[in-house]
């Protein structure tokens, strides 16, 4: 019985490792395809897989590279793709708000894009907005808390503006 359980455990573990290795190879191939211009971001499953890859937690070195690529997509997005970017911007801010907000502080055009995309997302997911604000305030460990409060205030204002337009 122990031998059967051991074999079963090895089979499951091996399958998981194989699936994980294939996922990493697949997701990395999406990044390569994007960088080579063979994957043009649009409203499709490959782009969503690429965005998932770029917004997941990684090593510090990989994080910076992923953030640069993600911001390229944010800068060029329009139409249906722009409508879904809020979820991914929220993910970036939640995963490392200190890093992202330090960048946004020095890049006002990108800050405006993030605020617009995030606000649009919270227009439809209003109940998540208070939790997001609390998470940002609790997880920010930089020195400029004044900027963080200002960022959240701008976000609040943008959500209200969108509600009035709706």
User: Domain check: are 69 and 5 in the same one?
Assistant: no
pLDDT digit string (tens) for the chain, length 166 residues? 545 433 433 344 443 333 333 334 445 889 999 999 999 999 899 999 999 999 998 888 899 999 999 999 999 998 899 999 999 999 999 999 999 999 999 999 999 999 999 999 999 887 899 999 999 999 999 899 999 999 999 999 999 999 998 7
Q: Each residue of 39-72: pLDDT tens digit?
A: 999 989 999 999 999 999 888 889 999 999 999 9
User: Domain check: are 142 and 156 in the same one?
Assistant: yes
Domain that holds residue 128: 42-165
User: Domain check: are 70 and 32 in the same one?
Assistant: no
b/e per residue, 49-82, with b = 16+ CB within 10 A? Answer: ebbebbbeeeeeeebeebbebbbebbeebeeebb
b/e per residue, 130-143, with b = 16+ CB within 10 A? Answer: eebbeebeeebeee
pTM: 0.81
Domains in the chain: how many in total? 2
3-class DSSP string for the chain: CHHHHHHHHHHHHHHHHHHHHHHHHHHHHHHHHHHCCCCCCCCCHHHHHHHHHHHCCCCHHHHHHHHHHHHHHHHHCCHHHHHHHHHHHHHHHHHCHHHHHHHHHHCHHHHHHHHHHHHHHHHHCHHHHHHHHHHHHHHCCCCCHHHHHHHHHHHHHHHHHHHHHC
User: Domain check: are 70 and 84 in the same one?
Assistant: yes
User: Domain check: are 108 and 139 in the same one?
Assistant: yes
User: Domain check: are 62 and 137 in the same one?
Assistant: yes
User: Domain check: are 121 and 86 in the same one?
Assistant: yes
User: Domain check: are 68 and 27 in the same one?
Assistant: no
User: Domain check: are 69 and 110 in the same one?
Assistant: yes
């Amino acid at each position: 019985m122990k031998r059967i359980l051991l074999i079963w455990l090895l089979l499951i573990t091996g399958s998981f490792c194989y699936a994980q290795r294939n996922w990493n190879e697949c997701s990395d191939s999406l990044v390569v395809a994007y960088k080579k211009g063979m994957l043009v971001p649009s409203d499709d499953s490959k782009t969503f897989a690429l965005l998932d890859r770029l917004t997941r937690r990684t090593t510090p070195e990989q994080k910076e590279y992923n953030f640069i690529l993600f911001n390229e997509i944010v800068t060029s997005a329009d139409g249906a793709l722009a409508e879904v970017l809020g979820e991914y911007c929220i993910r970036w801010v939640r995963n490392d708000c200190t890093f992202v907000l330090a960048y946004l502080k020095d890049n006002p055009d990108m800050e405006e894009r993030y605020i617009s995309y995030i606000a649009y997302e919270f227009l439809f997911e209003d109940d998540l907005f208070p939790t997001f604000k609390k998470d940002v305030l609790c997880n920010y460990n930089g020195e400029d808390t004044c900027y963080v409060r200002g960022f959240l205030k701008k976000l609040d204002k943008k959500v209200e503006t969108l509600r009035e337009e709706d």
